[in-house]
Amino acid sequence: MSSTAGQVIKCRAAVAWEAGKPLVIEEVEVAPPQAHEVRLKILFTALCHTDVYFWEAKGQTPLFPRIFGHEAGGIVESVGEGVTELQPGDHVLPVFTGECGECRHCKSEESNMCDLLRINTDRGHMINDGKTRFSKNGQPIYHFVGTSTFSEYTVVHVGCVAKINPAAPLDKVCILSCGICTGLGATLNVAKPKIGSSVAIFGLGAVGLSAAEGARIAGAARIIGVDLNPSRFEEAKKFGVNEFVNPKDHDKPVQEVIAEMTDGGVDRSVECTGSIQAMISAFECVHDGWGVAVLVGVPNKDDAFKTHPMNFLNERTLKGTFYGNYKPRTDLPSVVEKYMNKELELEKFITHSVPFSEINKAFDYMLKGQSIRCIIRMEE
Ligand code: NAD
Ligand code: ZN
Ligand code: ZN
């Protein structure tokens, strides 16, 4: 047991007090883990666009003060009652969606949508007692997607924690805790392109580029990258993207441009933007008869998907996925091994790195479209 087990820990956390306002590094109190919870010391975390949407809270339900962050790597500091599968010192990746191991979803080979621990972006407390483990001067601070990794210590349900090879460098594999597994799995596990096929990827951030990487690994011949930010196109070549479309360069809808380029449509498409318009285009650009489109981007809470039903009758399929259909505890350790065996490169996704005290810079890089992933180092 560590010397801090069972005690409240005071540590630094980046608190979002208000929507869209810079995070403030504060000293907060982190309560000990309760039954089926673990307290983690976070060493590295990264910024994903999902954090930014809920921090901006323009198209999402606002909940403040809140500690964001869900892509991270750390070490178990202490465990709560009933936790047998983890112990202090284990190297782990927390994941925003969990795996209880008991429910119908966890027992199904097809689903990673655990009944107990599936992603819930509007919940700001722990499921155990409906309370937060974070506070400042007695004021509770809300959690985000059960992970809240923008803190030196955080408390997470044991079902949302994957134990990984302790030899894996946490400053690299932390990005598997959301973005990279999400994109890779969206292609490999859900879209499943065939060798020699064509795949369109909408949005060339970390999620889209890892979806492109998945298409390359699957043996797709044409990988068409679609983005509004032309600076993404040069970078995307490193991820197997071999054709580019900027919707702004065309007068007609991008789905028509892609249909013309591909003799009727692509075999598969993966949407990684969060834009409802891009989601509709991603669906309408797949070939009739066999095309499959996969939605990954997080929509605004009031968005509605509108397309003509004939697009379905003409035998197009629309799917969606969280975390690329990977079960976090069962599947993530083997994705880490792919990196260790050099089957998967992570370095090329990491374009920036900042100390924790400069976490707001990571937001600037993402909002300006400059970074793929920015690693935030908790130890300065
Ligand atoms: P990012 O900001 O790094 O990349 C998004 C890219 O999409 C940017 O390059 C942007 O220019 C481009 N884009 C935006 N609107 C577009 C449009 N209409 N057409 C074409 N390109 C457009 O973000 P990210 O971290 O890679 O995340 C991508 C999306 O995936 C976000 O919506 C995020 O919330 C979501 N996400 C979903 C899951 C999941 O499990 N389903 C997990 C992680 C992230
Ligand atoms: Zn994410
Ligand atoms: Zn479950």
Per-residue pLDDT band at 2 (split at 50, 70, 90): confident
53 and 298 Cβ atoms separated by less than 8 Å = yes
Residue 26 corresponds to which amino acid? Answer: E
What's the mean per-residue pLDDT of the chain? 97
380 pLDDT higher than 90:
no
Rounded Cα–Cα distance for residues 31 and 48 (Å): 26
pLDDT reported for residue 3: 87
Q: Where are the beta strands (DSSP E) in 231-372?
A: 243-245, 268-271, 292-295, 317-320, 350-355
Residue 355 corresponds to which amino acid? Answer: P
338 pLDDT higher than 90:
yes
Average pLDDT over residues 17-37: 98
The answer to whether 70 is a known catalytic residue is: yes
pLDDT tens across 101-158, in order?
A: 999 999 999 999 999 999 999 999 999 999 999 999 999 999 999 999 999 999 999 9
Which of 48, 118, 269 to probe ligand 1 with, by most ligand atoms within 8 A of CB? Answer: 48
The answer to whether 118 is a known catalytic residue is: yes
Query: What percent of the chain is modeled with pLDDT above 90?
Result: 99
Name every residue whose Cβ is closer than 8 Å to that of residue 364 and which is 6 or more positions away in sequence.
370
Q: From the CA of 366, which ligand is nearest?
A: 1
Q: Whose CA is nearest to atom 29 of ligand 1?
A: 297
3-state SS, residue 324: helix
Any ligand 1 atom below 6 A from CB of 373: no
Rounded Cα–Cα distance for residues 86 and 80 (Å): 10
pLDDT reported for residue 125: 98
3-state SS, residue 199: strand
Q: Whose CA is nearest to atom 31 of ligand 1?
A: 297
Per-residue pLDDT band at 1 (split at 50, 70, 90): low
109: exposed, middle or buried (C-beta count within 10 Å: 0-12, 13-18, 19+)? Answer: exposed
Residue 304 gets which letter from DSSP? -
Q: Which of 106, 174, 181, 285 is catalytic?
A: 106
Q: Where are the beta strands (DSSP E) in the chain?
A: 9-15, 24-30, 37-46, 71-79, 91-94, 134-136, 139-141, 153-157, 161-163, 198-202, 222-226, 243-245, 268-271, 292-295, 317-320, 350-355, 373-377
Distance 116 CA to ligand 3 centre (A): 6
pLDDT tens across 29-72, in order?
A: 999 999 999 999 999 999 999 999 999 999 999 999 999 999 99
Rounded Cα–Cα distance for residues 199 and 196 (Å): 10
Q: Whose CA is nearest to atom 21 of ligand 1?
A: 227
The answer to whether 104 is a known catalytic residue is: no
User: What sign results for the dihedral spanned by CA atoms 344, 53, 354, 230?
Assistant: positive
Average pLDDT over residues 241-261: 98
User: What sign results for the dihedral spanned by CA atoms 211, 214, 218, 224?
Assistant: positive
8 pLDDT higher than 70:
yes
Any ligand 1 atom below 6 A from CB of 328: no
Mind spelling out the 3-state secondary structure of 214-236?
Answer: HHHHHCCCEEEEECCCCHHHHHH
* Closest ligand 1 atom to 229 CA: 11
The answer to whether 174 is a known catalytic residue is: no
Q: What tokens appear for 31 in the block?
A: 């309560």
Rounded Cα–Cα distance for residues 196 and 102 (Å): 39
pLDDT tens across 266-319, in order?
A: 999 999 999 999 999 999 999 999 999 999 999 999 999 999 999 999 999 999
Any ligand 1 atom below 6 A from CB of 299: no
- Tokens 């890892």 locate to 210
